[in-house]
Amino acid sequence: MDDDFFILGIESSCDDTSVAITNKNHVLSNIISSQLVHNQYGGVVPEIASREHMKNIVPVLKNALEVSKIDLNEIDLIAYTNGPGLSGSLIVGSSFAKSLAQTLSIPMTDVDHMKAHIHSIFLKNERNRYPKFPFLSLTVSGGHTQLVVVNDFNDFKKIGNTLDDAAGEAFDKTSKFLGLGYPGGPIIDNLSKKGNPIFEFSKPKIKDYDFSFSGLKTSIIYSIKKELKENSKFIGDNINDLCSSIQHSIVEILVEKTIKCAIDLDIKQICIVGGVSANSHLREKLKSECLINKFDLFYPKINYCTDNAAMIAVSGYFNHLNKKFSDLDKVIDSRLSF
Ligand code: KG4
Ligand code: ZN
């Protein structure tokens, strides 16, 4: 078809090597190789991460091409993550992308990882349901916690940020303390389903739309250490309730700020993106708050929440168009196969 536009996306900002092929916003393949080697260290080791990317990038590309049934010669654009991320990891993806674009004599575009998380909301979904501008994005990942007003495909205004740890980091660090492994978010999410939020931790009081999770993490660790003095088996005896309580505290902070921000700015469309947006309690809690406030809520499919190259490809597509769209409907009719 004449209006096909095939994009090869490459993501290598942290510990996931991912290559995707999309036709505009329609995902044809999205292969992710997660580096399990970091689990034993309780966090990502940068030097190991870049070596793993070097090992994985070619097989992941081959797999992505096979699944999409697209030939390298059919690719119209290469999009790669430029940052933020670990420099050694970013270099592997960007050098690979540049060599590929040079060899194929096709254009390439660099992509901002955080914008790409927001653009993941425009990846084609079954219900053809996408937010309209302006909308508010709660971008929650392992390294960032941001509230962003999105006025257009390439018009973002960051209005809130974390002052210290990110929400994902709070999950990961408390998980490590509990001896549960890395990444902590999905593990805590799972165990929480069997527990109740019976423990209370002191929450930070931060002005406006900024966040802070370092104090919460300290409060969690301090109160558990206190209990351990009385009962050395405290963690094992209460693991599900502890996970549920930790998750509850983190989610409460995120939801409270997001809803307040949307009310203050009179924005009625909210999206949550990034690894932590996969959290089941965050989705449930925001859903019910949005229902009460008559807001529309949007989130990506689970495999587009955590790092993936499909979001890099679609973000590269918006870069490439580099047009200012004021109305999503126009885009639906014309450029994208929404
Ligand atoms: O977006 P992402 O894959 O990488 C970064 O850009 O940082 O996010 C990774 C983060 C990790 O901190 C991980 O623990 C968290 O997302 N995460 C979750 C869940 N799945 C992943 N946090 C809470 N609940 C989940 N289900
Ligand atoms: Zn990410």
Match 């654009």 to its residue by tokens.
Answer: 77
Q: Please report the pLDDT score of residue 333 as a whole number.
A: 41
Confirm if 171 and 188 have CB atoms less than 8 A apart: yes
β partners of residue 77: 7
pLDDT of 210 above 50: yes
Average pLDDT over residues 160-168: 96
Model confidence pLDDT, tens digit, residues 322-338: 744 434 444 444 444 44
What SS3 class is residue 48? helix
Instruction: State the Cα–Cα distance between residues 184 and 243, nearest whole angstrom.
Output: 10
Model confidence pLDDT, tens digit, residues 38-68: 888 878 889 999 999 999 999 999 999 999 9
pTM of the model as a whole: 0.93
Residue 197 CB neighbour total at 10 angstroms? 18
Q: Please report the pLDDT score of residue 43 as a whole number.
A: 80
Confirm if 25 and 12 have CB atoms less than 8 A apart: no
Q: Give the DSSP H/E element, type plus range, for residue 150.
A: strand 145-152
Q: Please report the pLDDT score of residue 204 as a whole number.
A: 87
Residue nearest to atom 3 of ligand 1 (CA): 306
β partners of residue 330: none
Q: Where in the chain is the domain with CATH 3.30.420.40?
A: 6-125+303-333, 135-300
Residues ≥6 apart with Cβ < 8 Å to 303: 30, 32
Q: Does domain 135-300 have CATH number 3.60.40.10?
A: no
Q: Please report the pLDDT score of residue 1 as a whole number.
A: 52
Q: Please report the pLDDT score of residue 99 as a whole number.
A: 95
Instruction: State the Cα–Cα distance between residues 148 and 136, nearest whole angstrom.
Output: 6
Average pLDDT over residues 82-90: 96
CATH topology of domain 6-125+303-333: Nucleotidyltransferase; domain 5 (3.30.420)
The alpha carbon of 76 and the centre of ligand 1 are apart by a number of angstroms equal to 31
What is the distance between the terminal CA atoms of the chain, rounded to a whole angstrom?
Answer: 16
Pocket of ligand 1 (CB under 6 A): 14, 141-143, 168, 171-172, 183-186, 189, 274-276, 278-279, 306-307
Higher pLDDT, 79 or 182: 79
Q: What is the mean pLDDT of the chain?
A: 93
Relative to the CA of 274, which ligand 1 atom is closest? Answer: 1
Q: Please report the pLDDT score of residue 38 as a whole number.
A: 82
Q: Report residue 203's pLDDT band, with 50, 70 and 90 as the boundaries.
A: confident
Percent of the chain surpassing pLDDT 90: 86
The alpha carbon of 168 and the centre of ligand 1 are apart by a number of angstroms equal to 5
pLDDT of 309 above 90: yes
